[in-house]
Amino acid sequence: MSDRMRRATGGNETLQARVGRRQLLLGSAVTAAGLAAPSIVRAQARVIQFWGTQRAPEQREAYEKIFASFSRAHPGFTVNYDLVTEETILPRLSAALAARTPPDLISHIPAPFAIQLNDENLVEPMDDVVRAVGADDFNPNSMDLFRDPRRGHVLAVCIVNGTTPGNMWVRKDLLAEANLQMPRTWDEMLNVSRRLTRRGAFGTIFATGKNSMGDTQFLQTVWQAGGNIVNPDMSVAFNSPQVIAALEYAKEMASFSPPEATNYNFLDVLNGFVLGRAATAPYTGRVLINITRENPALADKVTCIASPHRREGRPAFNSDFTALVIPKGSGQPEGAKLFAQHLLSKDAQITFLHATPGHNLPDLKSVGQSEEFANDPMLKRFRAELQVMLANTAQARNLLKESAQHPINRRAGAIFGARILSESAQDVIIGGVSPRQAAARGADKIAAIMRG
């Protein structure tokens, strides 16, 4: 997901909250039989209508190469790329479904929206694509998320992935000057943050803004403490000793962060670290591009580690799982499957990922572990950091499904949209509410949403 998408939508989990069942699909009353009527014009032209949100010039150039290679491999097919903005993708898809003219394939769609479309029986199963690529090649966490146990099919595949709070970027030069080791636990992270807060610089950036960054950061903190938002039986787990410990940790980390971090969004965190304002900060591999372009003097002084966890807790990482889906009723469902397979081929994946190296990561193990992928100059330079990010992402989860034991939480988007997680942290950090009271308040709010 792009930084702009996170800012515009508040993160992938908020889309489900912003668009209710009726508003989501203006055409939800359209029957599957009606949707299945193909467009004769499109069928004759064999044009695959492809929607996506990736707009950087480098990404557009990469797509043109991928489209050309697909047409060479499958004569008679061409791809028409329709760039949709984060603000318009939902109403445009709703209108297209109602008019029975949905696109053939959509890429980088937020995971909650893909699952909701599947609940409405408005996506084609992706099992043929998965079999062609190889089910074992996908990271198990993404297959676990997108496999529908009720209908017995795979509803979407993860096209790219990454974890923002799971990667902790560290100024290794500053740690060396202070004779500090890389932190692995919360206690060690607090010590590093305390020791490196000096001379107008901050030890870390712990963002608690009432936005997707704040929610994402605190969700992972709860998991790192050993807790959950809901239990596998969908009862509320927020009012727990683990969540209280997470709130206590958030308060301590905030004291070593810029005061404005209580309002920081994704871009603020990225810029704060890249510009040298903090010694540590969480973010995706986008740090690599930005720091080499905007502050190259620091490029050789940074590294990436797994985000430290509570000693009594567990390692935990939160990811987006942006998806590739085939809407039901498209004019070229078989062509869409062929193109989806092509997008997931090693050559196409590397072409796209190398356009903005480190910004996104492959979900396919064969790509992530390949020499061809690692051979990009920037990824080669930061090979150790790349391996850390790949390992973190391969272990990541999402509020939609907090563990392998959890079913899909269809209230996850509403919980994120209500900003309960970041608000609980702010209650403690800004409002002076005790962690125990904040956990109880948050649990009541989550319980109300789960009942809704």
pLDDT at 111: 93
Is 282 in contact with 165 (CB distance < 8 Å)?
yes
DSSP string, 378-408: HHHHTHHHHHHHHHHHHT-BBTTBSSTT---
Rounded Cα–Cα distance for residues 236 and 253 (Å) = 26
DSSP string, 91-106: HHHHHHHHTT---SEE
Is 381 a residue whose pLDDT tops 70? yes
* pLDDT tens per residue, range 11-46: 443 333 333 443 344 333 333 333 333 443 344 559
Is 327 in contact with 100 (CB distance < 8 Å)?
no
**Among 47-51, 150-154, 423-427, 441-445, whose mean pLDDT is lowest?**
150-154
pLDDT at 23: 39
* pLDDT tens per residue, range 53-99: 998 899 999 999 999 999 999 999 999 999 998 778 888 999 999 99
Reported pTM: 0.89
Rounded Cα–Cα distance for residues 162 and 181 (Å) = 26
Is 378 in contact with 355 (CB distance < 8 Å)?
no
Q: Which CATH number is correct for 167-318+403-451, 3.90.850.10, 3.40.190.10, 2.60.40.180, 3.30.2420.10?
A: 3.40.190.10
Instruction: Give me the residue spans of the domains in the chain.
Output: 3-162+319-381, 167-318+403-451
Tell me the percentage of the chain whose pLDDT exceeds 90. Answer: 85
Highest mean pLDDT among 11-15, 91-95, 303-307, 448-452: 303-307
Give the position of tokens 């500090």. 180
Name the pairing type of β-strands 105-109 and 153-154.
Answer: unpaired
- For domain 3-162+319-381, give the fold: D-Maltodextrin-Binding Protein; domain 2 (3.40.190)
Tell me the percentage of the chain whose pLDDT exceeds 70. Answer: 90
Is 2 a residue whose pLDDT tops 50? no
pLDDT at 80: 96
* pLDDT tens per residue, range 241-289: 999 999 999 999 999 999 999 999 999 999 999 999 999 999 999 999 9
* pLDDT tens per residue, range 344-380: 999 999 999 999 999 999 999 999 999 999 999 999 9
Provide the 3-class DSSP secondary structure of residue 413. helix
pLDDT at 44: 52
Running DSSP on this structure, what letter comes out for residue 316?
Answer: -
Q: Which residues contact 444 (CB under 8 A, 6 or more apart)?
A: none
Query: Minimal CA–CA distance to 225: which of 239, 242, 206?
Result: 242
pLDDT at 30: 35
pLDDT at 371: 96
Rounded Cα–Cα distance for residues 242 and 221 (Å) = 10
pLDDT at 45: 56
Query: Minimal CA–CA distance to 286: which of 172, 184, 401, 160?
Result: 160
pLDDT at 89: 82
* pLDDT tens per residue, range 164-218: 999 999 999 999 999 999 999 999 999 999 999 997 899 999 999 999 999 999 9
pLDDT at 286: 96
Is 192 in contact with 247 (CB distance < 8 Å)?
no
The single-letter code of the amino acid at 251 is: K
pLDDT at 31: 32
The single-letter code of the amino acid at 165 is: P
Does 167-318+403-451 match 3-162+319-381 at the fold level? yes
Is 121 in contact with 32 (CB distance < 8 Å)?
yes
Rounded Cα–Cα distance for residues 157 and 140 (Å) = 11
* pLDDT tens per residue, range 107-144: 999 999 999 999 999 999 999 999 999 999 999 999 99
